[in-house]
């Protein structure tokens, strides 16, 4: 009769081990998905930063051009038609500079949003990685307890697996 009781206990240990393996697999998939998202967001941030830099260079070029026209206007060497042309160009460049500044502000806002998303993803991943560690340790303890037929080890496996499941849930929902 005690042999039959041990077999029931080992069956329960095996079932719990299967559940722990499933939880570990799901957590690992979530980590991989999250890491891919972080990499995409980093690439997007780099691309936006490059755009931001290019717009800064263009903006600076327009500002230099405006300064040249302003200097020519101040010198007054140009005739009335040239003066009108220069004034029109100054207005055009001024509008372009203002448009670039608005675009730069928009790019900077998007960049800040992406950085917030990356930080949130890192928080999720930290918890999920801890969950995987605890769940793998629990799986190891469960297997060892079944091989050695030590119920005490299996009970310690349950406590470690509870920690892993708590971190797994926190990795998905960020409760703490």
Give the least confident one: 9-13, 135-139, 152-156, 159-163: 9-13
Q: Which structural domain, as residue segments, surrounds residue 23?
A: 2-173
CA distances from 171 to 72, 114, 126, 129 (A): 63, 19, 7, 8
Q: pLDDT tens across 43-80, in order?
A: 877 887 787 778 778 777 877 777 777 777 766 666 77
Average pLDDT for 27-40: 87
What whole-number distance in Å separates Cα of residue 36 and Cα of residue 130?
Answer: 19
Residues 6+ apart with CB under 8 A from 21: 139
Average pLDDT for 107-135: 89
CA distances from 166 to 27, 35, 155 (A): 12, 21, 17
**HSE-up of 121 (CA within 13 Å, CB side)?**
19
The model carries a pTM of 0.65
What's the total number of domains in the chain?
1
Please report which helix (H) or strand (E) contains residue 38, including its range.
Answer: helix 2-75
């Amino acid at each position: 009769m005690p042999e039959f009781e041990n077999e029931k206990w080992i069956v329960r240990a095996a079932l719990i081990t299967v559940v722990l393996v499933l939880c570990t697999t799901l957590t690992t998939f979530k980590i991989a998905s999250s890491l891919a998202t972080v990499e995409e967001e980093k690439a997007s941030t780099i691309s936006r930063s490059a755009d931001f830099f290019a717009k800064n260079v263009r903006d600076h070029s327009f500002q230099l051009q405006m300064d040249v026209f302003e200097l020519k206007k101040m010198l007054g060497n140009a005739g009335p038609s040239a003066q009108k042309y220069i004034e029109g160009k100054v207005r055009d460049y001024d509008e372009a500079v203002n448009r670039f500044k608005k675009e730069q502000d928009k790019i900077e806002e998007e960049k800040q949003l992406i950085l917030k998303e990356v930080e949130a993803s890192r928080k999720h991943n930290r918890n999920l990685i801890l969950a995987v560690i605890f769940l793998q340790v629990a799986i190891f303890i469960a297997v060892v307890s079944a091989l050695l037929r030590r119920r005490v080890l299996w009970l310690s496996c349950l406590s470690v697996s509870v920690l892993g499941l708590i971190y797994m849930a926190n990795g998905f929902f960020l409760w703490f």
